[in-house]
Amino acid sequence: MRGGLSGLRTHGIAGRQSTAKQSPPRRWAAITMAVAVVGSACGTRVPYDQLLAASQVRTQPAGSTAGAGQPTQSAPTAPAAAGTPSAGVTGGGNATGGGNATGAGSATGGDIATGGTQGPACTGHEAPLILGSVGQQSGLLGFITAALPRATQAWVAMINAKGGLDCHPVKYIVADDGGDPARNQALVEQLVQQDGVVAFVNFVAPLSSSGSVSYINAHHIPVIGGTGIEQGFYQSPYYFPQESFEEDIFRAALSGVANEARARGLVRLGVIGCIEISFCKEVRTIALSVAPQYGLQVVYSGSGSLVQPDYSSLCQDAQAKNAQLLFVLLDPNGIERLAQNCNSVGYHPVFATGSIVATNPLATDPLLDGMIVGEAVAPWMATSIPGVAEFVQALQQFAPGFAPSGPSIAGWASAKMLELAGQHLSNPPTSQDILNGLWSFHSQDFGGLTMPMTFTKDQPAPKAICFWMVTAAKGKWTAPNTNRTCK
């Protein structure tokens, strides 16, 4: 049985233990590790457990007594997967897969940037490109959020197998802030000031992103992608969304859901959100004004905790209002418990949610058969879309055992943004290099993977509402069509 509080799923990123290097008490923590794989032309097939072993995340250093909000100290890079060099090591001579990357230069239309060498042959002396991710990598939300940096780890392996990005080996450091804004800020400072991070890819911090916005702005560090609800992405010129953000991600999700719901004759909408995240609470209010625009009538609005063991009362309240469609903003395990509780009281609505919680186990739950998801990037099973086909192939080759999902393809989209932005790097690479690349984007969608992206120098990203639609049918996720709709 998947329901019940005892069945709550939690995921961190496990790896080999390494001895923590002691640092002065005032120096900030790195809960970290790096992934870098250098391979041949056909790439290096790295089992996913080995990939993770080369990408360890620790919440406390060995022997530490650091408390909540107190950053932990740095651990040295773990050894790379068997048969590959350590993180940050580059091969000499020409990198396999050379030539100009597709989409380099104009960064327009649907071309897919592929990485590898640029222009002259690699010298073998290029400094590494150091990237980071800070956020909730474990706990209840970690089951969702950790999938984004995990997809980036597979991308790092793919890029390094081609000889690096613009000849620079890529190193990726992942840090778990435990949902604490103060720790988020401390870790961001640590990764930038001590570890040399020049850009953050997949800033997965729905509970803690506010802690580092001021630092990011003051130091002009590019932040590429997140879960859709972190702060900064529509307010700062240094944040670059890979999908709709803030209330627009809910609008995008609800738009996709509404199209399918109306086709099924479902117009009476109930909304249930979590109490832990302010966005979830705001969405209940937003739904009242947005839903009628999409032909839906909000008849019920409720809230519950992510750790609440029983949602029966919410089910009964929604049932009393005859809500045919129930849009739920909980973690995946919470959605499954809700479905079980509703079933126990004889209530069987069609469930709906957004792409960030569209994990694979939900599709296999018979109580969620028919579930509708408004997807903010291209459906992860729609391999007829070139950008999706590359994503699926890369996971099969570089992270076998790591299944594509709604969260993981969102993480991959962020990595592809960085890939195209990093086609022309200094030695060593700088944050300004990445910013210049991002600001060159014009209607870039990475082979249909994302919404069209255009960024303007020193201006916040423009708001956009684009969506696809995915449904759960007979134990698997399907995309009834692969059309992207933007409003």
Task: Please give the average per-residue pLDDT across 157-185, as a whole number.
Answer: 96
Reduced 3-state DSSP string for the chain:
CCCCHHHCCCCCCCCCCCCCCCCCCCCCCCCCCCCCCCCCCCCCCCCHHHHHHCCCCCCCCCCCCCCCCCCCCCCCCCCCCCCCCCCCCCCCCCCCCCCCCCCCCCCECCCCCCCECCCCCCCCCCCCEEEEEEECCCHHHHHHHCHHHHHHHHHHHHHHHCCCECCECEEEEEEECCCCHHHHHHHHHHHHHCCCCCEEECCCCCCCHHHHHHHHHHHCCCEECCCCCCCCCCCCCCEECCCCCCHHHHHHHHHHHHHHHHHCCCCEEEEEEECCCHHHHHHHHHHHHHHHHHCCEEEEEEEECCCCCCCHHHHHHHHHCCCCEEEEECCHHHHHHHHHHHHHCCCCCEEEEEHHHCCHHHHHCHHHCCCEEEECCCCCCCCCCHHHHHHHHHHHHHCCCCCCCHHHHHHHHHHHHHHHHCCCCCCCCCHHHHHHHHCCCECECCCCCCCCECCCCCCCCCCCCEEEEEEEECCEEECCCCCCEEC
Angle at alpha carbon of residue 21, lines to 173 and 32, rounded to 5°: 15
Start and end residues for every CATH 3.40.50.2300 domain found in the chain: 13-244+383-455, 247-375+469-486
Please give the share of the chain, as a percent, with pLDDT higher than 90: 61
Q: For 410-436, how does the pLDDT look when each residue is reduced to its tens digit (9 = 90+)?
A: 999 999 999 999 999 999 999 999 999
Residue 58 has pLDDT above 80, yes or no: no
Q: For 296-318, how does the pLDDT look when each residue is reduced to its tens digit (9 = 90+)?
A: 999 999 999 989 999 999 999 99
Is residue 163 within 8 Å of residue 97, measured between CB atoms? yes
Is residue 126 within 8 Å of residue 61, measured between CB atoms? no
Task: Please give the average per-residue pLDDT across 360-373, as a whole number.
Answer: 95
Burial class (CB in 10 A: 0-12, 13-18, 19+), 462: exposed
**For the ranges 38-42, 84-88, 336-340, the one whose mean pLDDT is highest:** 336-340
Token pair 């957004």: residue: 354
- Strand-strand pairing, 466-473 and 372-375: antiparallel
Residue 186 amino acid letter: A
Task: Tell me the pLDDT band of 203, cut-offs 50, 70 and 90.
Answer: very high
What integer pLDDT is reported at residue 120 of this predicted model? Answer: 60
What integer pLDDT is reported at residue 234 of this predicted model? Answer: 94
- In this structure, which topology does domain 247-375+469-486 adopt according to CATH? Rossmann fold (3.40.50)
What integer pLDDT is reported at residue 277 of this predicted model? Answer: 82
Task: Tell me the pLDDT band of 285, cut-offs 50, 70 and 90.
Answer: confident
Lowest mean pLDDT segment, chosen from 52-66, 280-294, 395-409: 52-66
Angle at alpha carbon of residue 350, lines to 344 and 356, rounded to 5°: 105
Q: Taking the CA of residue 451 as centre, how many other CA atoms within 13 Å lie in the half-sphere pointing to its CB?
A: 26
What integer pLDDT is reported at residue 247 of this predicted model? Answer: 84
Nearest Cα residue to 371 out of 450, 264, 454, 298:
264
Residue 216 has pLDDT above 50, yes or no: yes
Q: What is the pTM of this model?
A: 0.77
Q: For 127-164, how does the pLDDT look when each residue is reduced to its tens digit (9 = 90+)?
A: 999 999 999 998 878 878 999 999 999 999 999 999 99
Nearest Cα residue to 141 out of 176, 98, 102:
176
What integer pLDDT is reported at residue 305 of this predicted model? Answer: 92
What integer pLDDT is reported at residue 190 of this predicted model? Answer: 97
Residue 32 has pLDDT above 70, yes or no: no
Task: Tell me the pLDDT band of 26, cut-offs 50, 70 and 90.
Answer: very low
Report the chain's mean pLDDT, rounded to a whole number: 79
How would CATH label the architecture of 13-244+383-455?
A: 3-Layer(aba) Sandwich (3.40)
Q: What tokens appear for 367 in the block?
A: 């109580």
Residue 170 has pLDDT above 50, yes or no: yes
Residue 442's CB is within 10 A of a number of other CB atoms, namely 14
Please give the share of the chain, as a percent, with pLDDT higher than 70: 75
